[in-house]
C-alpha cells in the first residue's frame, strides 16, 4: 500500500509589493532582488487575514471536492502562531465544517514543521488506511523594516490531503534527518518579527542539505540521478539554486548547468512572485512544479529538502502518480495570482503595521481580502473569524 498526497491546493494574499518599489524606496539596485536573490514580488496579508483565514482558504477547494467525512485529523503547521495554548487549527476546523470527531493539533519547528506534519500524517494513514489526514501549512514571513531580510517577506498557506493510494504523489518511507542547536533565525514570544543572522543562515542551510543527503543515502537506494526534479525549502529562489548546484556538484552530476537548473526551475515560479511563506514554501514549490510543467510527470521521482531554522532538516522523496493532472487546482491557482493587486509603498507600510492588540482592546476589521474567510474582529482577547 502506498501513502502520500492525494490532493494539494494553496492560497496567498490578494495583495503584493513589487520589489522594484522597495528597491526604489531604499535606493537599491532592483537587480539585487530580481537577480541577486531571485525574487520579484512579495505577498502581503491584509488586516483581515492571518494564518487561520489563509489555512481555511487553502483547504476549501479540497473540502469542496471530497467533503469532510473521511478526515480523521487536521495537522496545522505554522511559526506564525496566534495563541500560545489554543491550536489555530480549531478555528479552521469550524470554518471548514469538519467533524467533531476529527482531532486537531498545531505543530511548530520553523519552516520544517509542515514536513513533520506530512510524515506524521503518512504514519497515521498507514495505521488506519480508511482515514484521511488534512495537513495545512500557513505562515506570514515578517522581518524588521530596513533590514536585509525585508525583501524576503511573503505569506501563504498550502493544504494537502494525505491518504492511502494517493492520486498525486506517493511518499517514500526512507528519510534523512539532521538536527543542530543553532541560532540562525528565531522569534522570541515578545516579538512579531523574526531575528536572523542572514549570511550564517544560508551556510547552515547548505550544511544541513549535505547532512540530510548523506543520511538519506545511507537508507535509500534512490541516487541523485534517479530524480527528475527537486523541491527545496524556498526562503528566496536563489537559495534553492545555490543549494541544488551544491548537491549536484557533491554527487558529481554530469548534467550541464542548464540541465541542473531545469531540475528546479519549475518549482520556483510561484515563490518568486509570493516570497517566503516559511513552512508552506516547499509545498507551494510542489504546486508550482505540478501546475507549470506541461509534460506528463507521472512516474517521475521528486527529491525534497525541507529546512527549518534552529535547525531541523529532512531529505525525502516521492513519486508522481498516473493521472495526477485530474486532481490539480491549477486554474484556481493561476486565477488567484492573476487577480492580485499591486501595493504602493505607503499601502505596504499600512499592511505591515497590522492590528496586533496586546491589551485586550476591541478591534473591528474592515473587509479587504478577496478570500472566502476573514478575521472580522478581536473582542476581549478573542479572535472572530467569519465566512464571506
Q: Choose which of 87, 95, 111, 284 interacts with ligand HMG (CB under 6 A).
A: 111
What φ, ψ does residue 143 adopt, rounded to 5°?
-120, 165
Query: Which of 12, 265, 306, 309 is the binder for ligand HMG (CB under 6 A)?
Result: 309
Q: Is 311 a catalytic residue?
A: no
Question: Which member of 93, 233, 244, 329 is catalytic?
Answer: 233
Among 307, 324, 373, 385, binds ligand HMG (CB under 6 A): 307
Question: Which residues, 53 to 82, sit near ligand HMG by CB under 6 A?
Answer: 79
- In 3D space, the residue among 107, 89, 108 whose CA is nearest the CA of residue 50 turns out to be 89
Which three three-digit cell numbers place residue 155? 505569506
Catalytic residue among 102, 111, 231, 311: 111
Say whether residue 110 binds ligand HMG (CB under 6 A). Answer: yes
Q: Which stretch binds ligand HMG (CB under 6 A): 145-153, 174-182, 209-217, 288-296?
A: 145-153
Give yes or no for residue 315 binding ligand HMG (CB under 6 A). no
Identify whether 79 is a catalytic site residue.
Answer: yes
Does the annotation mark 111 as catalytic?
Answer: yes
Q: Which residues contact 265 (CB under 8 A, 6 or more apart)?
A: none
Of residues 231-270, those binding ligand HMG (CB under 6 A): 233, 235-236, 239
Site for ligand HMG in 180-209 (CB under 6 A): 184-185, 196, 198-199, 201-202, 205
Site map for ligand HMG, 12-31, x if CB under 6 A?
-----------------x-x
Beta bridge partners of 77: 107, 137
Closest CA to 111 of 275, 225, 247, 346: 275
Question: Count of CB atoms within 10 A of residue 332's CB?
Answer: 15
CA distance 276 to 43: 9
Catalytic residue (choose from 79, 106, 150, 314): 79
Least gap, CB of 96 to ligand HMG (angstroms): 26
For residue 165, give the DSSP letter: S
Query: Hey, which residues does 162 pair with through a beta bridge?
Result: 5, 133
Residue tagged 523574526 (cell numbers): 194
How far is 287 from 333, CA to CA, in rounded Å? 9
Q: How far is CA 319 from CA 165, 181, 298, in A?
A: 12, 32, 8
Question: Looking at the annotation, which residues are catalytic?
Answer: 79, 111, 233
Question: Which residues contact ligand HMG by CB under 6 A?
Answer: 29, 31-32, 35-37, 79, 110-111, 148-149, 151-152, 184-185, 196, 198-199, 201-202, 205, 233, 235-236, 239, 276, 278, 307-309
Amino acid at each position: 500500500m502506498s501513502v502520500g498526497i492525494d490532493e494539494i491546493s494553496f492560497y496567498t494574499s490578494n495583495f503584493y509589493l513589487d520589489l522594484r518599489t522597495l528597491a526604489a524606496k531604499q535606493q537599491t539596485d532592483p537587480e539585487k532582488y530580481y537577480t541577486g536573490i531571485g525574487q520579484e514580488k512579495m505577498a502581503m496579508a491584509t488586516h483581515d487575514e492571518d494564518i487561520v483565514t489563509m489555512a481555511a482558504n487553502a483547504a476549501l477547494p479540497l473540502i469542496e471536492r471530497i467533503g469532510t467525512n473521511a478526515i480523521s485529523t487536521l495537522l496545522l503547521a505554522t511559526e506564525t502562531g496566534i495563541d500560545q495554548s489554543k491550536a489555530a487549527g480549531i478555528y479552521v476546523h469550524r470554518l471548514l465544517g469538519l467533524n467533531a470527531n476529527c482531532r486537531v493539533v498545531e505543530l511548530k519547528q520553523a519552516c520544517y514543521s509542515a514536513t513533520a506534519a506530512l510524515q506524521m500524517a503518512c504514519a497515521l494513514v498507514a495505521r488506519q488506511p480508511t482515514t484521511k489526514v488534512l495537513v495545512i501549512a500557513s505562515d506570514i514571513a515578517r522581518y524588521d523594516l530596513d533590514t536585509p531580510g525585508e525583501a524576503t517577506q511573503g505569506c501563504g498557506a498550502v493544504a494537502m490531503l494525505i491518504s492511502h493510494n494517493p492520486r498525486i504523489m506517493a511518499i517514500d518511507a526512507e528519510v534523512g534527518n539532521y538536527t543542530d542547536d543553532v541560532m540562525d533565525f528565531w522569534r522570541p514570544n515578545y516579538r512579531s518579527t523574526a531575528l536572523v543572522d542572514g549570511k550564517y543562515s544560508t551556510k547552515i542551510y547548505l550544511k544541513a542539505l549535505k547532512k540530510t543527503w548523506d543520511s538519506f543515502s545511507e537508507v535509500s537506494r534512490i541516487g541523485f540521478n534517479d530524480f527528475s526534479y527537486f523541491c527545496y525549502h524556498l526562503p528566496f529562489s536563489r537559495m534553492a539554486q545555490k543549494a541544488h548546484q551544491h548537491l549536484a556538484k557533491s554527487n558529481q552530476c554530469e548534467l550541464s548547468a542548464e540541465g541542473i537548473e531545469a531540475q528546479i526551475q519549475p518549482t520556483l515560479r510561484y515563490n518568486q512572485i509570493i516570497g517566503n511563506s516559511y513552512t508552506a514554501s516547499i509545498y507551494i514549490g510542489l504546486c508550482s512544479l505540478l501546475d507549470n510543467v506541461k509534460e506528463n510527470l507521472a512516474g517521475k521521482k521528486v527529491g525534497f529538502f525541507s529546512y527549518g531554522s534552529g535547525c531541523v532538516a529532512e531529505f525525502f522523496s516521492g513519486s508522481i502518480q498516473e493521472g495526477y493532472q485530474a486532481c490539480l487546482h491549477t486554474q484556481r491557482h493561476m486565477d488567484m495570482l492573476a487577480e492580485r493587486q499591486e501595493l504602493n509603498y505607503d499601502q505596504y507600510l499600512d499592511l505591515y503595521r497590522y492590528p496586533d492588540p496586546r491589551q485586550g482592546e476591541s478591534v473591528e476589521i474592515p473587509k479587504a481580502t478577496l478570500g472566502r474567510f476573514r478575521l472580522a474582529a478581536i473582542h476581549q482577547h478573542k479572535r472572530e473569524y467569519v465566512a464571506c
